[in-house]
Amino acid sequence: MTMKEARDIKQLGDVEEALRFLKIGSKVIQEFTPGLLCLLKEMMKFSRMVSAMAPVSPLLPSRFHIAELNNLAVLNQMLHQVVVSAKQRFRLKLRIIATGIKITSGYLLTRIHRVLDRRSSTEHEWEEIVNAGQDFQQLTTESVESFRNLMGALPSGLASQLAENLRMRPSTPSLPTTSGGPA
């Protein structure tokens, strides 16, 4: 949302305020990404303990703007056909989502820092940021949907243990660094 708001404010003529929104968006991405990657890692561990799982749908390439994510979703669709069990498809999807989040975070941070450093108001650059923000949101939505699937498949004791593990979060994966600024 912050990326879209920043672009809308820029279009109204307040570039300084729009840049401030981009800085906020950058900080949110930097803080949110490691937690989301930790969630996916924990979900991967617990998915091995599930005896049965609801069918899993692959990511749809048409929902992504960044070319690398589109290609990743195509790969997910192809491998989805090769993998047999719902548990394997679930873990595949988690890996694809995690890879997509890393790609999108790096992409967004690089572009945001580029715009901030140059104080750019080029519409194309701002549109790229908004589109990448939408991709990040789509991956977040897929993560939440996958989490719901997993919680529905886990016995209550394991669901409680997963919730406890997520509260504790002993180690957080590092965020990809960018050459355009601090990560």
Residue 143 lies in a domain: yes
The reported pLDDT for the residue numbered 77 is 95
Residue 12 lies in a domain: yes
What average pLDDT values come out for the chain (183 residues) when binned by 10 residues?
A: 77 81 88 93 89 87 95 95 91 96 95 86 85 94 92 83 72 42 36
DSSP string, 51-118: S-----PPPPGGG--SHHHHHHHHHHHHHHHH--SHHHHHHHHHHHHHHHHHHHHHHHHHHHHHHHHH
Residue 181 lies in a domain: no
Residue 126 lies in a domain: yes
Residue 177 lies in a domain: no
Residue 183 lies in a domain: no
Domain that holds residue 40: 2-168
Residue 108 lies in a domain: yes
The reported pLDDT for the residue numbered 180 is 40
Q: How many domains does the chain have?
A: 1
Residue 25 lies in a domain: yes
